[in-house]
Structure 1
């Protein structure tokens, strides 16, 4: 519980600083509904779920990631082949002038 809520429930001014025991009292009174102004006692909370249910979203993750992984692997291998081919071509053209080639 935040101290602002405890101040509001116990009726303290916004500038006051409640102690831990006062905050504990506010929390217990909130749970039991002793100081609550609502006729139902404790504060009610409504939980609203949004989005896709968990059961439907689990299997689609693999179907989405596999093509992207294949694209990435193909791109890396294609770049490696092009780099190796360019390296061999440069080695044939200028073997003695390139200090980076063996």
Structure 2
């Protein structure tokens, strides 16, 4: 008799758990998607771009022009080294602040 009860119970438990799971996840999917990070780092108003003679360069944003220039130079050195370029030749070619 217990075998019949266990079989009957197992036939409705799994579908019930799946249905509850779907209902709970469907409730969360109705929320609008929000971006966590902006491409320009919302508060940063200055940007700079540094390029090596060969390889990939780097673009960076910062609160001040000097911070943006330093970050872009660091990115250029890192990316040029990874791409088989010449990190020692990185130079800032563009830097300005938005108004």
| TM-score, normalising length: structure 1 | 0.29
Q: Choose between structure 1 and 2 for higher RCO, CA contacts under 8 A separated by at least 6 residues.
A: 2
Greater Rg over alpha carbons, structure: 1
Greater strand fraction, Structure 1 or Structure 2: 2
Greater helix fraction, Structure 1 or Structure 2: 1
